[in-house]
Structures are given as C-alpha cells and as structure tokens.
Amino acid sequence: MEVAVIITWIGMLIASLTNTPSTTVVLIDNGTNQNAIVVETKAGSVFVDKPGGYVSLTSKDEKPSEVKMMSDAQIASKFKSAIASVPLKPVHVLLYFKSGSNELTQESKEKLPQILKEIKKRMPCDVNVIGHADTMGSKEYNVKLSLERANSVKEWIKEQSLDVIQLKVESYGETDLLVKTADNVSEEKNRRVELLIR
C-alpha cells in the first residue's frame, strides 16, 4: 500500500558522521498537524509522524532503523547549523492609504519600523509590492492610483539601502478588492499595498 505524504521543508535530511557513516532523518515540528515523512530505502520504509521522531540510515540496501524520539533540546544542539540555514517563512503585510492619495494612514506608518526589521532578518531577500484601490473613481484612475501607492512604498524601501535582490511592483487597481463593494464606494481596506517579504 502506498502512503502519500507531503514533505514540507520541516522534514529535514541531515547527515552526521560517527564511527560508521550514517544519516539521521529527523522530523521537526512545523506547527501544524500535517507533519509526517516516509523514509525509504531499497530494503523497506519507515513512517515518521511525530515531531522529534527520527530514524538512522547506514546503507541504501538496509531498512531504516525503528523510529526513536529526540527532544527539542537534542535537536537544537545536534542540528543547530542545519536549522539556522532554513529560510524564515515569508511575511505578508498590508499597508492602508488615505482616500484618493498615496499617503499612508497613521496606523500604517507605525508598521514601517517592523517592516524594516522583517526585511533585514531575511536579507538578501525578495519583496513584492502590490498596489490596490477602492472603487471610487474610474477603473483607469484606480489602476494609476494603486501603481502610485505601490511605487511610493517601493521608493521608501529603496531609500533604506537594504540588500533586496528583487523589488517587484504590481498594480491591480480595483480588480482585487479585499472587501467587496459596489462601484464608487470608499472602503479603507481596499486602499492598500500588500507586501510579500521572502
């Protein structure tokens, strides 16, 4: 019977040398209940479905060991450099704008220092800047306005002299409303820029 398992970046394959060359495969908790891996060799397979569970491999021709458990402290100690090399999860931030302008609301201005920290933690990184508008005004006007909003955030990021590999700007005007409204409705949640930092 085949077992289909989605292996996330959390299931890490880590080699460690002892007297006999071996590989340790440990399942790290990804914070969800969908956390499992299948370790397979020519001689058989083992299903690991508990965070901290691990198996040892000595050869592709031998079955993996039975599942054993490792504490969080043991994992952190033994695999410190491997865990440190795992990229941080992407961050998604929404910034809101005053009606009919590319000026941030006060609440959104207060988010800028945290955005700066998130970018610095991930450098070098990619940042997508996506502009949106509400339905006030014509569709053409809103495409232009949402692009101005995205470009104003892009310029702010560039002024910070950060190590950003790619800074991509997109504009959707009123075509991707966060809050569905009729035409010519002023809605703050639709006057936004989405930032995806990865």
Please determine, for residue 12, whether its predicted confidence score (pLDDT) is greater than 90: no
Alpha-carbon distance of 76 to 51, in angstroms, equals 13
Sign of the Cα torsion 150, 153, 159, 163 reads negative
pLDDT tens per residue, range 158-186: 999 999 999 999 999 999 999 999 999 99
| pLDDT (0 to 100) of residue 11 | 40
Tally of CA atoms within 13 A in the half-sphere of 97 that contains its CB: 24
Q: How many CB atoms lie within 10 A of CB 100?
A: 14
Please determine, for residue 34, whether its predicted confidence score (pLDDT) is greater than 90: no
> Which domains can be identified in the chain, with CATH numbers?
11-84 (no CATH), 91-197 (3.30.1330.60)
